[in-house]
Chains A and B, each alone.
Chain A
Amino acid sequence: MKKRLILGIFVIALIGALLGVGCKSKSSNNNTNNNGTTSVTLEVTEPQDEITVNTSTVQVKGVTTADATVSVNGSLVDVGADGKFSTTVSLEQGPNSIEVVASDSQGNENSQVLTIIYVP
């Protein structure tokens, strides 16, 4: 009985540890560039990737570091003192690619690409 209890606790702890490692590796992806060096943080909060919308524009919102320069599909976007940014992107009918790039005062860069389908 005691052995089973210990085994159960061990299995739960193992699952927890695996989940923890999974979450950790996911969050650190945002801060690491292709060279493996620390990069500028970039989190695009809206829109979701791979969604279909029925409006011809979409709000792109996110957060980065306060000293960052941000572009959305090549156009520069204002960044607030809190690192938040927001802009509107026009969509054409069908699949659209939205590329958000942030770079910091050390020249580090981080990018995210979202794909959205606009069906009027």
Chain B
Amino acid sequence: MKRILLVVVTLALTTGLILGTAGSTLAAAGTQSGRGIFGTVQSIVMTDNTTGVGTVTLTNVKPATADNASVEIQVTENTTYNIPTVTVQPTQRWQTWQQLTPESRSLILGAHRVAILLTEPAGNVAAKVMVIPAGYLAYRYHHHLGVVVSVSDNGTATIAEKKGGQITVTLSEGVQLAVGQFVVVVTDSSGGTQLKAIKAYRIDKIVDRFEGYLEGSLTEANFDNVTALIQQTQQKHIAYLQRVQDLLQSENRTQAAAAVGKAIDYANARYSEALQFRAKIKDWIDKNGGWTAWQAQWGDTSGTITAVNTVGRTLTISTDNGTITVHVPVAARIVKDTSTGPALFAFKSLAVGNQLEKVIYYKPTSGQFQALYIRVAE
């Protein structure tokens, strides 16, 4: 009798477990529009190579299978593929097997690891397959530190880099370069034979950044660290430029060497300005009662927005200590708490009633308070 009871209880528990698991799976299926899976490619077999119907077998799957077993994923004529460093806009980022070039197909067939979106949480049909880039295809974006030595009318620029090398890049829309500029050019190596310059960051912007660090230093230690950073970076930049110039001169590339000379002069001038700015701050601190007085220039508050002036870019904030109005420069950092952490927020998105958790602002001896950092509550 006891045995029968035990069997019944065991059966009931097992049934409950199965139903519970099935219920959870169905619930998940009801809230999600697919499922993501990562895996190392064991094989890709196209039973119909024209339409792209076949099977992808994966091992080392993430999320892991119960027994680390391999997983078979079906690909259909509707499955789309992307190789981040190859298939890009404006051609088409995601392409069906039929749309892929033979070269792209061979890259997919030779993929080491892939990320797959399945059409259904419980299914095994792939909606999207992305090749996780490896080897020579691993990186799409690169930074090139150098001096612009020529800019042509057909929208290309040549940049002299360290070791005397140079690259010619196609300038993307909005990227403007001039001869003699010392820049970090961000290039996109995908979708063509020539590098595309998609961003150009002038080196004086780095010095601007360092000046911001000086202003934001509220202790002597931080101030000294930033000063050292400026001096060290200046030395590195000038040494880099001189190395490039020496190499160009040794190869009799006089015009390019002259462009680098211009960059050296400009970089030195900009760093001198930063060090003068540093001396000005130090002078102010020494004459106005030290670091305590410097710190007193900075305000820190929280409250509710009661008015937004989009033309003058000002906010009026009701705080526990009364109402203040701050000007919000374009460079001010505005963030908003989200479920995934703080996200950047635009000034135009601020509205009356918004709760501000933290506002850090500069209090000049005359004129408006200047907001540097605003954190909006979720």
Residues of A within 8 A of B (CB): 46, 50, 52, 54-55, 57-59, 61, 66-67, 69, 71, 73-76, 78-81, 86-88, 93-97, 99, 101-107, 109, 111, 113, 115, 117-120
**Which residues 113-154 of B sit at the A interface, judged by CB distance below 8 A?**
115-117, 127-130, 132-133, 138-146
Closest to A105 in B: B236
Closest to B139 in A: A111
Q: B178 → chain A, closest Cβ, in Å?
A: 19
Residue interface mask B309-353, A partner, CB < 8 A = 1: 000000000000000000000000100001111111000000000
Indicate which residue in A46, A78, A81, A95 contacts B130 across the interface (CB closer than 8 Å).
A95
> Within 8 Å CB of B162, what residues of A?
106-107
Q: Are A107 and B161 in contact (CB under 8 A)?
A: yes
Q: Is B38 an interface residue (CB 8 A)?
A: yes
Contacting chain A: which of B17-25, B28-36, B282-290? B28-36
Closest to B237 in A: A105
Contacting chain A: which of B198-206, B273-281, B294-302? B198-206
Q: Are A87 and B36 in contact (CB under 8 A)?
A: no
Q: Is B169 an interface residue (CB 8 A)?
A: no
Q: Are B141 and A50 in contact (CB under 8 A)?
A: no
Q: Is B62 an interface residue (CB 8 A)?
A: yes
Q: Are A113 and B138 in contact (CB under 8 A)?
A: yes
Closest to B214 in A: A81
Known contacts A74-B188, A79-B209, A94-B130: A59-B143 contact under CB 8 Å: no
Known contacts A55-B340, A74-B198, A119-B117: A69-B143 contact under CB 8 Å: yes
Q: Are B341 and A113 in contact (CB under 8 A)?
A: no
Known contacts A71-B186, A74-B141: A50-B38 contact under CB 8 Å: yes
Q: A12 → chain B, closest Cβ, in Å?
A: 29
Residue interface mask B88-129, A partner, CB < 8 A = 1: 000000000000000000000000000111000000000111
Complex CA distance for A107 and B164, rounded to whole angstroms: 13
> Within 8 Å CB of A57, what residues of B?
338, 340, 343
Q: Are A101 and B33 in contact (CB under 8 A)?
A: no
Indicate which residue in B132, B141, B229, B340 contacts A101 across the interface (CB closer than 8 Å).
B141
Known contacts A69-B201, A97-B84: A119-B240 contact under CB 8 Å: no
Q: Are A97 and B133 in contact (CB under 8 A)?
A: yes
Q: Are A94 and B33 in contact (CB under 8 A)?
A: no
Q: Is B184 an interface residue (CB 8 A)?
A: yes
10 contacts between A and B (CB under 8 A): A55-B340, A67-B232, A81-B226, A97-B130, A107-B145, A107-B146, A107-B162, A111-B141, A117-B38, A120-B32
Shortest Cβ-Cβ A-B pairs, 9 listed: A117-B36, A95-B130, A52-B36, A103-B143, A107-B145, A95-B115, A94-B117, A94-B128, A97-B84
Q: Are A59 and B130 in contact (CB under 8 A)?
A: no
Known contacts A50-B62, A57-B340, A111-B139: A67-B145 contact under CB 8 Å: no
Q: Is B233 an interface residue (CB 8 A)?
A: yes
Indicate which residue in B132, B333, B340 contacts A115 across the interface (CB closer than 8 Å).
B132
Q: Are B36 and A81 in contact (CB under 8 A)?
A: no
Interface class of chain A by DSSP: strand
Q: Are A107 and B186 in contact (CB under 8 A)?
A: no
> Within 8 Å CB of A58, what residues of B?
340
Known contacts A75-B199, A95-B117, A119-B34: A107-B342 contact under CB 8 Å: no
Complex CA distance for A61 and B162, rounded to whole angstroms: 30
Complex CA distance for A46 and B340, rounded to whole angstroms: 10
Q: B14 → chain A, closest Cβ, in Å?
A: 30
Complex CA distance for A87 and B340, rounded to whole angstroms: 12
Complex CA distance for A113 and B134, rounded to whole angstroms: 10
Contacts beyond the supplied A71-B199, A81-B226: 12 A-B pairs with Cβ under 8 Å: A74-B199, A94-B130, A95-B82, A95-B117, A101-B142, A101-B186, A102-B143, A103-B143, A105-B145, A106-B145, A109-B143, A111-B142
> Within 8 Å CB of B240, what residues of A?
105-107
Indicate which residue in B117, B199, B233 contacts A93 across the interface (CB closer than 8 Å).
B117
Closest to A112 in B: B139
> Within 8 Å CB of A103, what residues of B?
143, 145, 184
Known contacts A67-B233, A69-B201: A120-B186 contact under CB 8 Å: no
Complex CA distance for A52 and B32, rounded to whole angstroms: 12
> Within 8 Å CB of A96, what residues of B?
130
Closest to A59 in B: B341
Q: Is B54 an interface residue (CB 8 A)?
A: no
Complex CA distance for A99 and B139, rounded to whole angstroms: 7
Q: Is B254 an interface residue (CB 8 A)?
A: no
Complex CA distance for A113 and B83, rounded to whole angstroms: 13
Q: Is B261 an interface residue (CB 8 A)?
A: no
